Amino acid sequence: MKLMQLYASLKSDLQAIEDDMSRTVTSDMPTLSEASQHLMKAGGKRLRPVFVLLSGKFGRYSLDTVKKVAVPLELIHMATLVHDDVIDDAETRRGQLTVKSKWDNRIAMYTGDFIYAKALTVVSELGNPRIHQVLSNAIVQMCIGEMEQVRDFFETDQSIRNYLLRIRRKTALLIAISCQLGALATDAPKRHSDALYRFGYNVGMAFQITDDLLDICGTEKAIGKPPGSDLRQGNITLPVLYALQDPALKDRLLAEIRLIRQSEGAADSSAAVRIVRESRGIKDSEKMADRYIAKAVKALGELPDLTAKKNLAEIARFVAKRSY
C-alpha cells in the first residue's frame, strides 16, 4: 500500500496546506523566493502535516486552526534541511565551484533563517502561548541533536543508547509535537494530546531507524541518493553499531570506516556497506523499529475510535515497511 492512498481522505486539506506553505515563503526577494519554491517543488512525504491533521480530529477540528500548526511545522522541517544543505554545499565545494558554492551557502543559510522566521509568524497568528512553548523547546532540542550528530561523526565507540538519544532529538521530537500540537490547537483533552505525543515520538524513532536502514539497504533509484551516504559523512547509524558488535566483522568494518575518515569523504563506502548488509545489524535494526511501531500503536489505545485513529495506525505500520 502506498502512503498516498492513506492520504486520500486528507487530500483537499493537504492541498490547502501546500498552498499556504507556498504563499508563506513567497517574498519580494527573487533569490529567496526561488530558493524556497525550489524546496517546495522538491516535495516530501509531508508527514508532519499529515500527523497534525489526523491529531486535530481528536479535538474541535478546523482546517484554519490545524493549518496554522501544520504549515509552520513542515516549514521548520524544511528550514532544517536547508541548513543541512549548507554543510553539504561546503563539501561539494572541495571540488571546483568554490565561489559559486560560497554564494549558495549564504543563500542557503539565510533562506533557512527566513523560512524558519516565516514559520513563526504563522504560529503567532494562533495567539496560543502554550504552542510557542512546546515548539521553541522542541527546536532547541533539534539544534542540540544536530550538534550531537556532528560531535559523533566517525565515533565508532558510541552506545546504542547514544544513537537513540540523538535521533530522538534530531527526528522523533518534531514528529511527536506535530501530533501533540494538532491536538492542543483544537483543544483536545490533555489525555489525548499526551497519547498522541507518545504515538508521534515512537513513530518518529521508527521512521529514523528505517531511514538509516534504507541508506544501507536501499537502491539509489529508490532512495534518491547513493546508498552509504551516511557512512561517507561519518554518520554512524544503528545497523552499523549492531554490525560492530559482531566480533567476526568488527575489525574489518572499523578498518573500512577508518579509510573513509582518512579520505575525508573522497572514499567509497560500498565495502563498509556490504559488511553491514551481511551482518545481523539489519535484522536487529528492523526489530528495533518494529518495537517502536508496536509502542506507537499501543499509545493509540488511549484514544477514541475515530477513523483518524485507524489512519494513524496504518501510517505507523507503513513507516516501518517503507522502501523510500
Which positions lie near its own copies, rule CB under 8 A? 27-29, 31-32, 83, 86-87, 90, 94, 98-99, 102-103, 105-107, 109-111, 113-114, 116-118, 120-121, 123-129, 132-133, 135-137, 139-140, 142-144, 146-148, 150-151, 264
Identify whether the C-beta of residue 52 lies closer than 8 Å to the C-beta of residue 182.
Answer: yes
Judged by CB, which is closer to its own copies: 42, or 150? 150
CA proximity to 234, closest of 281, 282, 266: 266
Judged by CB, which is closer to its own copies: 43, or 129? 129
Taking CA atoms, 84 is separated from 69, 139, 290, in Å, by 23, 15, 28
User: In angstroms, what is the minimal distance from the CB of 206 to its own copies?
Assistant: 25
Alpha helices in 93-128, H assignment, sequence order: 98-124
CA proximity to 76, closest of 128, 15, 25: 25
CA distance 226 to 288: 24
Q: Which residues contact 276 (CB under 8 A, 6 or more apart)?
A: 216, 239, 240, 243, 253, 282
Judged by CB, which is closer to its own copies: 106, or 321? 106
Q: What angle do CA 257, 258, 264 make, to 5 degrees?
A: 95
User: In angstroms, what is the minimal distance from the CB of 286 to its own copies?
Assistant: 31
Judged by CB, which is closer to its own copies: 109, or 164? 109
Cell of 219: 537502491
Judged by CB, which is closer to its own copies: 147, or 222? 147
- Any idea which residue has 578498518 for its cell? 255
User: In angstroms, what is the minimal distance from the CB of 158 to its own copies?
Assistant: 15
CA proximity to 131, closest of 199, 77, 186: 186
CA distance 68 to 261: 43
User: In angstroms, what is the minimal distance from the CB of 285 to its own copies?
Assistant: 26
Q: How many residues does the chain have?
A: 324
Judged by CB, which is closer to its own copies: 129, or 224? 129
User: In angstroms, what is the minimal distance from the CB of 104 to its own copies?
Assistant: 11
User: In angstroms, what is the minimal distance from the CB of 152 to its own copies?
Assistant: 11
Q: Which residues contact 76 (CB under 8 A, 6 or more apart)?
A: 115, 116, 119, 135, 139, 174
Judged by CB, which is closer to its own copies: 148, or 314? 148
User: In angstroms, what is the minimal distance from the CB of 135 to its own copies?
Assistant: 8
